Structure 1
Amino acid sequence: MADTGILESLLRLVDKVDGGIDSQVVASSLGVDHQVVVGAVKSVQALGEVIEAEQRSSKHWELTGEGQEIAEQGSHEARVFKAIPEEGLSQSQLMKLPSGKVGFSKAMSNKWIHLDKGHEGGPRVFRMVESIEDAVRKKLQQVQMGHSSQLEEKEKNELKKRKLLTEVTVKSYWITKGSNFSTIITKQETELTPEMIASGSWKEKKFKPYNFDAMGVAPDSGHLHPLMKVRTQFRQIFLEMGFTEMPTNNFIESSFWNFDSLSQPQQHPARDQHDTFFLSDPAVAHDFPQDYLERVKKVHSEGGYGSQGYKYDWKIEEAQKNILRTHTTAVSARMLYKLAQQEEFTPVKYFSIDRVFRNETLDATHLAEFHQIEGVVADYGLTLGDLMGVLHQFFTKLGLNKWVEVGNSGVFRPEMLLPMGLPEGVSVIAWGLSLERPTMIKYGINNIRELVGHKVNLQMVYDSPVCRLDS
């Protein structure tokens, strides 16, 4: 509760006037800050119907810091004019003055001064008139004295554009007497104690009414990061479309499954250290299905399954190198190989959403660690039309009803699928996109480092509502 002295002073002022009084006038009369009076109003309101307070708002013009300086010392253009002697002043000297740059252009447009570019010794500035009237200073002084209504709106807006004036909205309360008005503050009890009951003193006490509409203290609870909220939405869409989630808990992957099994040649630049994180311990992997490895080696070095291959000396040492996986397609390759080992092929729909790692330069749109969303469908006779149909359904559920580029998609080549042991005629369609980019779009985040990493404002996590992708 506010200080009792302030409360009673407020009530005495209300008692003296008929029809009510503005809280700004109360603050001025008592010589206190307006917020102190606002606190006092709220405290008195809590006592019951002692007063009534209606919130009002009004606008008025105030001088900015620069505006106050000009009201005292004159406008920049006037100061420039006064600084120029009868014989003129070199432009370079004029520009060194505190008001030189701003004042020069304004004084030129007012035709108070002119610039002689051909003057001997360099460009020189001369006066064009004998005397000037500093209208800007006069207008600001009018506002300072509370006569802003004497200025036209155009004049005010011009001064506002120069950042000399600002329009301020003031919220205040119109205070009138309530049905239980009194100038004496009687403390209301908030608890009924055993002592009051035993002595009977509760009968003479005034109790503060219980507010059943008051909000309780919000219980402490966990909060989902926006990235995890959008991840849940994507996962739900995949599950609604009948997809099965792939196990993606192996962040460390061999170059064989990450690159070679996907028909990426060993000399590809994406396999260099400036794009990929290589492990030093354990540096290499040893456990591979040998028959499959030999078929992949042959396709790379000699060709096969309709492919000419890359015609190079494929090395097991390159395939053995352990890395942090650069995409979850390495998991898709493992799952498709596992599918090919079944006695009888069955159509499948797989998806995954998990972290991948690339040796990227960190900036507003790139991280070294991010999430990849991937969908894979394997069945007989799938075509590009099937891919477009699945994508249309997928992105329609996201609320995208027109074709826009948000990721990559395509059909896996036979020279990747047939060495795994998948039957001829089986096609695999797939698509992928990042998780971070849709989340940034949804939450209006322009810098990815504000979404993920040590620069994240945790308040953003607490404040973000449960995400709904509009449909």
Structure 2
Amino acid sequence: MAYHFDAQQLLNILAARDTFQSNELTEELAIDHQRLIGAIKSLQVKDGLVNTTEVKIRRIELTEEGEEIIQKGSHEFNVYKIVGEKGITKAEIDVKLKLLFTLKDPFLCQKTPFGPIGLGKALQCGWVGMDTRDGGVPVVMRKVAHAEDGLKAQLQLVKDGKGDQLPQNSVAQLKKRKWITESAIKALSVAKGPNFTTSMQKQELDLTSEMISSGSWRGKQFKQYNFSAMGVPPSAGHHHPLLKVRAEFRDIFFQMGFSEMPTNRFVESSFWNFDGLDEFCTFLERSFKHSSNLSNTRPAILMTHFSFQSRRFPLNSRRSISKSYRYDWKLEEAQKNVLRTHTTAVSARQLYLLAQKPFEPSKMFSIDRVFRNETLDATHLAEFHQVEGVVAERNLSLAHVIGLFTEFFRKCGIENLRFKPTYNPYTEPSMEIYAYHGGLRKWVEIGNSGMFRPEMLLPMGLPEDVSVAGFGLSLERPTMIRYGISNIRELFGHKINLEMVYRNPICRLEQKSD
């Protein structure tokens, strides 16, 4: 039966003893330790009433298997007893020990190698040895006339509450064999304070106008204000970490003179998602492995004034050294609707609109969701965010592009960059962007980039001397690095912990000053 007590009873106990330790009083009165700690802390707030000191206590307890060892002896000592004077084979030892030790779980009992464990330990102790003199099956023989089961004696000390008398190496050995568990508990040592008394007077929380007018406040004690206490957090919404990093990226783009592209088309036609970027029909990203085709939808309505013929036979009639992919373009394939696999489809639409009026240099960016038919794991999702920027200008060179990327990532706090040639179906030349990760001590890929191919730009109607550079990266990877998240599924999706959203701070990228 639990002992019900209050702070007054605790003061009476302290008056009789001068001091006590919370864990010992818990066992004596059969009360919950946390309830006792709560009562002690209610006395701590009264100045000088009690003095408390936190103590750490090592607790060693027997496991179920440890209890069985106390009853039957250790495995090695039982091997010594089973061997006897005549000796015995290893197989017989294994059978007899399994019959002797019966854990609650029969399957676990069959799986546990009691025989090999006991024999190995007995051999280490020098109690038994292997006899192969006859050249037949090895026989286990005794090597000493007498043996003491020291492990059983050590476990008996633990059972008697004297486990703290065991040396640390013995404790480590018993823990390794899962016969004991060791834990550390925190307790409070309580003693009388300079203002100790057993007569408690209720402290008033507020000074009211009635107390002042009547003068009754003079005979009352008031609880002191705790100016270091945390206030109640306001009930308000919180921005997701992805939104915080997204806001930082948008600010950087705006600082560099970019304008934001509309990204409200999650469903895109295959024409703009693939053909508009000069991705031929057999390209891997166009296959069902990466794109998600939509069923039961009407064919997309394509703009007839776009040059379909130039898309079917790119640049055949133009002055160009490139022959493009020369794939067999099919209208029915171009009209299929898909969930967009990249925001480059948005860039293609905007470049087409840019070509419909007298050309003006343009810098545009977008940050929004894209969809891939991917296998989900710690670093891949079927739905994620892509950050993309494009720059259209006359006589744009690769050196300009590298300078642009360097400036963008410098503003993101990343200065140590490398560019590696790669292949993209709609850019040439193409480059992967790597940054040195100080924590991992290696170069990691952070983005992809390149110059859009003329086969993509000229059919849109852009002048031949106009070049367009583009680069992209995911929003999730820098967010995971910024907030120390190792599994992308903990960042985005239906299984995220809302506490993670609440506690993560505002994102401030370490932007380098100009």
Contact 1:306–1:414 (8 Å) recurs in 2: no
Per the alignment, in what secondary structure is the counterpart of residue 253 of structure 2? helix
Q: Which residue of 2 aligns with 1:90?
A: 91
Change (3 A) 1:346 1:102: farther
Contact 1:70–1:137 (8 Å) recurs in 2: no
Change (3 A) 1:318 1:5: closer
**1:76-115 paired onto structure 2 within 5 Å:** 76-79=75-78, 82=81, 86-90=87-91, 93=95, 98=109, 100-101=112-113, 104-105=116-117, 107-111=119-123, 112=127
Q: Which residue of 1 aligns with 2:379?
A: 365
Per the alignment, in what secondary structure is the counterpart of residue 379 of structure 2? coil
**1:230-249 paired onto structure 2 within 5 Å:** 230-249=245-264
Change (3 A) 1:5 1:150: closer
Give the C-alpha shift of residue 315 in structure 1.
1.5
Q: Distance in 2 between matches of 1:457 and 1:188?
A: 41
Task: Indicate yes or no: 2:493 matched with 1:453.
Answer: yes
**1:140-219 paired onto structure 2 within 5 Å:** 140-148=155-163, 150-190=165-205, 204-219=219-234
Give the C-alpha shift of residue 299 in structure 1.
0.5
Q: Distance in 2 between matches of 1:417 and 1:77?
A: 82
Q: Which residue of 1 aligns with 2:44?
A: 45
Letter in 1 for 2:446: V
**1:236-315 paired onto structure 2 within 5 Å:** 236-299=251-314, 305-315=320-330
Task: Indicate yes or no: 2:327 matched with 1:325.
Answer: no
Q: Which residue of 2 aligns with 1:389?
A: 403
Structure 2 residue runs of 5 or longer lacking an equivalent are 100-108, 417-434, 436-443
Structure 1 residue runs of 5 or longer lacking an equivalent are none
Per the alignment, in what secondary structure is the counterpart of residue 446 of structure 2? coil
Measured against aligned partners, the alpha-carbon deviations of 1:133-158 in whole angstroms (never above 9, x if no partner) come to: 33333333334445455444333334
Give the C-alpha shift of residue 332 in structure 1.
0.8
Per the alignment, in what secondary structure is the counterpart of residue 229 of structure 1? helix
Q: Distance in 1 between matches of 2:13 and 2:178?
A: 38
Per the alignment, in what secondary structure is the counterpart of residue 406 of structure 1? strand
Q: Which residue of 1 aligns with 2:369?
A: 355
**1:438-449 paired onto structure 2 within 5 Å:** 438-449=478-489
Give the C-alpha shift of residue 334 in structure 1.
1.1
Give the C-alpha shift of residue 81 in structure 1.
5.1
Q: Which residue of 1 aligns with 2:504?
A: 464
Q: Which residue of 2 aligns with 1:13?
A: 13
Contact 2:60–2:164 (8 Å) recurs in 1: no
Contact 1:84–1:126 (8 Å) recurs in 2: yes
Q: Distance in 1 between matches of 2:74 and 2:317?
A: 82
Aligned-residue identity in percent: 48
Contact 1:58–1:170 (8 Å) recurs in 2: yes
Change (3 A) 1:348 1:106: farther
Q: Distance in 2 between matches of 1:240 and 1:25?
A: 66
TM-score by length of 1: 0.85
Give the C-alpha shift of residue 425 in structure 1.
2.8
Measured against aligned partners, the alpha-carbon deviations of 1:398-419 in whole angstroms (never above 9, x if no partner) come to: 3334333122222211221222
Change (3 A) 1:50 1:427: same
Give the C-alpha shift of residue 227 in structure 1.
1.9
Per the alignment, in what secondary structure is the counterpart of residue 108 of structure 1? helix
Change (3 A) 1:178 1:151: closer
Is the strand fraction higher in 1 or 2?
2
Letter in 1 for 2:184: T
Q: Which moved more, 1:147-156 or 1:396-405?
A: 147-156
TM-score by length of 2: 0.78
Change (3 A) 1:381 1:35: same
Give the C-alpha shift of residue 106 in structure 1.
5.5
Please tell me the root mean square deviation across aligned C-alpha atoms, in Å: 3.6
Q: Distance in 2 between matches of 1:247 and 1:372?
A: 14
Q: Which moved more, 1:285-294 or 1:78-87?
A: 78-87
Give the C-alpha shift of residue 60 in structure 1.
1.9
Q: Distance in 2 between matches of 1:458 and 1:115?
A: 62
Contact 2:175–2:181 (8 Å) recurs in 1: yes
Per the alignment, in what secondary structure is the counterpart of residue 292 of structure 2? coil
Contact 1:303–1:310 (8 Å) recurs in 2: no
Change (3 A) 1:169 1:109: closer
Q: Distance in 2 between matches of 1:424 and 1:411?
A: 14
Give the C-alpha shift of residue 165 in structure 1.
4.7
Q: Distance in 2 between matches of 1:153 and 1:396?
A: 54
Q: Which residue of 1 aligns with 2:462?
A: 422
Measured against aligned partners, the alpha-carbon deviations of 1:247-286 in whole angstroms (never above 9, x if no partner) come to: 1111111111111111111232322233222223433112
Give the C-alpha shift of residue 288 in structure 1.
1.5
Give the C-alpha shift of residue 393 in structure 1.
2.6
Contact 1:51–1:176 (8 Å) recurs in 2: no
